[in-house]
A = this chain, B = another copy of it.
Amino acid sequence: MRKPRNEHDVVQSIERAFRSTRSSRLTVSLGDDTALWRGSGHKQTLLTCDWFLEGTHFLGQKHPPDAIGWKCLARAVSDIAAMGGKPACFLLSLALPDRLAGRWLTGFLGGLRRVSRATACELAGGDTTRGEHILIGITVLGEVARRQAVLRSGARPGDLVYASGTLGEAELGLEQLRRLPTLPRPPNAALRKHLYPEPRLALGQWLAEKRLATAMMDLSDGLSSDIPRLCAASGVGATIDSSLLPLASLKDRRRALALALHGGDDYELLFTVRPGKAALLPGEFRGVQLTRIGKITHGRKILLQDAKGGATLLGPGGWDPFRTS
């Protein structure tokens, strides 16, 4: 493949990859000063952005380019799912070393296009530049019907706490990725979860439309880091029951529990439901398991309860790029 000469060529590679995915709601997308987008008058706009940086969020030598393309957009779309919204379009900010502007870029754009199609989230524009390392910034614009967005701040004492899917699997996948010299093909469940997370869009929208979730967020940094954020926004505490957590299938139950509590990158939904509405929740929604994992409490403490009824304080052990460890 020809190596791009300059910024214009990189932009053209991106345009070619996404040419067939345009809708009529983007009047102008690539190639003008800004994208021009026609919103629905009766909806609210959701806006989110996410870094995805080599060395911090992925390993340039280990992560396949198409998984990097998939994951950078999937995790930003997951924030839209966590509000109960629908993605509409995204902006791609990309800084690349010259040597990656050929085959690597093609692989990256392939993964990006797959998740763009799977989630109906069109490329609307972006900015490209040269960089020593791969830097990716994704902005997603989405929509939600008025007064239907599910915030982090709506949990009340007595609400039940739920999680979708299994917890800790993505962290297990990352451990395997670091350890294995080559990746198994097809990748196993843990690797798939780490490399190609699926934003829980249908579930988030359903919970919002049916007004079942009182508060919601996505699990990106790990349960022990994320649930304090939901509780702080709601002014409440929580008790998590360790015996209820949907763990990854591992022989070592203690390790599976630690992964479920502190492992990042799961992109499952964490949400709360009034006890009176719990009966309306199925055990599974379109193939995704829904598990009650605890309860919202008065006070501000986050407690972990074990099978014998003992409870300990649950401190954040998940991922924080600024933590000095």
Which residues does A use to contact B, with CB under 8 Å? Answer: 4-10, 27-28, 31-39, 41-42, 44-51, 53, 56-57, 79-80, 82-83, 85, 89, 91, 93, 95, 98, 101, 124-131, 135, 137, 139-142, 144, 149, 151-153, 216-218, 233, 320-324
Q: How far is the CB of A10 from chain B (nearest CB, A)?
A: 6
Distance from A265 Cβ to chain B, minimum over Cβ atoms (Å):
14
For A4, what are the chain B residues with a Cβ–Cβ distance below 8 Å? 322
Least CB distance, A142 to chain B, in whole angstroms: 7
Q: State the number of copies, please.
A: 2
A34 touches B7 (CB 8 A): no
Specify which chain B residues have a CB less than 8 angstroms from the CB of A320 in the assembled complex: 6-8
Across-interface contacts of A217 in B (CB, < 8 A): 32-33
Once the chains bind, are A35 and B53 in contact (CB under 8 Å)?
A: no
Q: List 5 A-B contacts (CB under 8 A).
A: A5-B324, A33-B216, A45-B141, A53-B135, A56-B95
- From residue A288, how far is it (CB to closest CB) to chain B in Å? 18
A13 to chain B minimum Cβ distance, whole angstroms, is 11
Shortest beta-carbon distance, A200 to chain B, in Å? 12
Verify B323–A6 contact, CB threshold 8 A: yes
> If the complex has contacts A79-B34, A322-B4, are A124 and B50 also in contact, measured as CB distance less than 8 A?
no
CB-defined contacts of A5 to chain B, threshold 8 Å? 322-324
| Residues in chain B near residue A56, CB distance under 8 A | 95, 129-131
Q: Are A6 and B38 in contact (CB under 8 A)?
A: no
Neighbouring B residues of A50 by C-beta, 8 Å: 93, 127
Q: Which residues of B lie under 8 Å from residue A321 when comparing CB positions?
A: 7, 129-130
User: Are A149 and B49 in contact, CB atoms less than 8 angstroms apart?
Assistant: no
Q: Which residues of B contact A79 (CB under 8 A)?
A: 33-34
Chain B proximity of A236: nearest CB distance (Å): 15
Flag if A45 contacts B49 (CB, 8 Å): no
**Once the chains bind, are B28 and A36 in contact (CB under 8 Å)?**
no
The one of B39, B47, B83, B95 that contacts A91, using a Cβ cutoff of 8 Å: B47
**What separation, in Å, do the CA atoms of A320 and B93 have in the docked complex?**
16
Question: Which of B7, B32, B36, B37 is within 8 Å of A322, CB to CB?
Answer: B7
Closest chain-B Cβ to A44's Cβ sits at a distance in Å of 5
